[in-house]
Each structure stands twice: as structure tokens, then as C-alpha cells.
Amino acid sequence: MTTPTTRRGLREQVGAVRAEDGSAVAVAPARTRVRMGRAIADVLLWLAAAAGAICMVLVVLAFTAQITLIMFRTGSMSPTIPAGSVAAVQRVPASEIEVGDVVTVDREGELPVTHRVTAVAPGAVPEERIITMRGDANASDDPFPYPVSSVRIVRFSVPGIATFIAGMGDPVVLGGLTVAATMLVVWAFWPRSRRHPPAGANGSSA
């Protein structure tokens, strides 16, 4: 014998089903939680994909255009490039250097120096230049000029992200991010079984 279906009965079927012992089992909230979890996982996967794409672009630029990143630990170039900034630099021949450029000069046995060019003079050979530099925050030029055949010129800089970039290079952080990304991918693509509503959930009985 079929029991007539009422509006109230339909609403109860959507929100809950009856287990064998008569207790209410919520269906809609569980489905909502699953959908929210999948949405969050999708967002995290897109963020991870974007980060991976950025890394790939940086690697390609480093090999093809000789563009790399440098971090500013001191404020000698403030306020133009304050401490804690990250700059994109590109290696160029010394013949392209002009007064006013901000360049990085590599020094044997010492840390590189990144200052603004204040003077350019010919070197001992055609491809060499003798440059004088000064930090924007300094009152005088560097103690001695630099003979260079190539330099890394600053194309642009982003303030305040050096700490984040340095932290990303920590082996512990990289290992944790790798494990987290692996778990996220496995969770997102793990096959899920389809759940069927229990008997009696369709509002009819024999």
C-alpha cells in the first residue's frame, strides 16, 4: 500500500533520512561540507599551479634572458629600494651602462654590491668600462671604481618580500610544502565511491 506524499514529507526527505533504528541522519549538511572541501581544494590546487608556473617562468628567464632575483639586506639604496626588497636583474654588457642606472657588480671573494652609477669611463679593453657608483642613501661615492665587462642591471624591484623569498628557500619549508602539495593532489584525485540513499528514503513503503 502506498502512503500519499505530502509537502512536509518532501522537506524531511531533503534534510534527513531515517536509519533503521529510527534516528535522523542529516544528508544536506554533509553534502555541503563535501562541496566546501572540494572548493577549498580546487583553490589550493590553482594556487599551487600558479606558483609552479611562476617558478617555471623564472627558470626560463634565467636561461634565456639572464634575468635573476636579488635580495636587498641593507638600506644603502633607500628610499628607491629599501631593505627587504627583491629586485629582478638582467646581465648586460658594460657598453650598455649609463649614468643613473642601478646595477649589481660581482666582486671576487666579496658580496656583490648594488648601487647607482655616477660615472662611466673607458676601460683597458674595448668591452671594459670603469664605473663609479654610490648608494642613494650614501653621502659619497663608493671608495673605489669598478672595472667591469658586464653587470646586472636592476629592471624593477618589489619591497618587503625578501623575508618571504628567503623563507621559501629553507629546506624545511620546501619539504613541508612538497609534502602538503602531494597530500592535496592525492586527496583531490582519490577515487570516491557513490553513496546511495538508504531504503525508505523515497517516501514510499510496501
192 occurs within a structural domain: no
Is it the case that residue 77 has pLDDT exceeding 60? yes
Is it the case that residue 189 has pLDDT exceeding 50? yes
55 occurs within a structural domain: no
pLDDT of residue 149: 95
Residue with the bigger pLDDT between 158 and 34: it is 158
128 occurs within a structural domain: yes
140 class by beta-carbon count within 10 Å (0-12 exposed, 13-18 middle, 19+ buried): exposed
125-135 pLDDT per residue, tens: 999 999 999 99
169-180 pLDDT per residue, tens: 556 656 666 666
122 occurs within a structural domain: yes
The owner of cell 577515487 is 191
pLDDT of residue 136: 96
pTM: 0.58
Q: 144 pLDDT band (50/70/90 cuts)?
A: very high
Is it the case that residue 6 has pLDDT exceeding 80? no
How far is CA 97 from each of CA 27, 75, 92, rounded to the nearest angstrom?
69, 23, 8
CA distance 149 to 123: 9
202 occurs within a structural domain: no
87 occurs within a structural domain: yes
Residue with the bigger pLDDT between 2 and 63: it is 63
Which domain CATH number covers 96? 2.10.109.10
24 occurs within a structural domain: no
Backbone CA torsion sign across 6, 8, 9, 14: positive
Count of the separate structural domains present in the chain: 1
Range of the domain at 72: 68-159
85 occurs within a structural domain: yes
Residue 23's nearest CA partner among 203, 204, 198, 205 is: 198
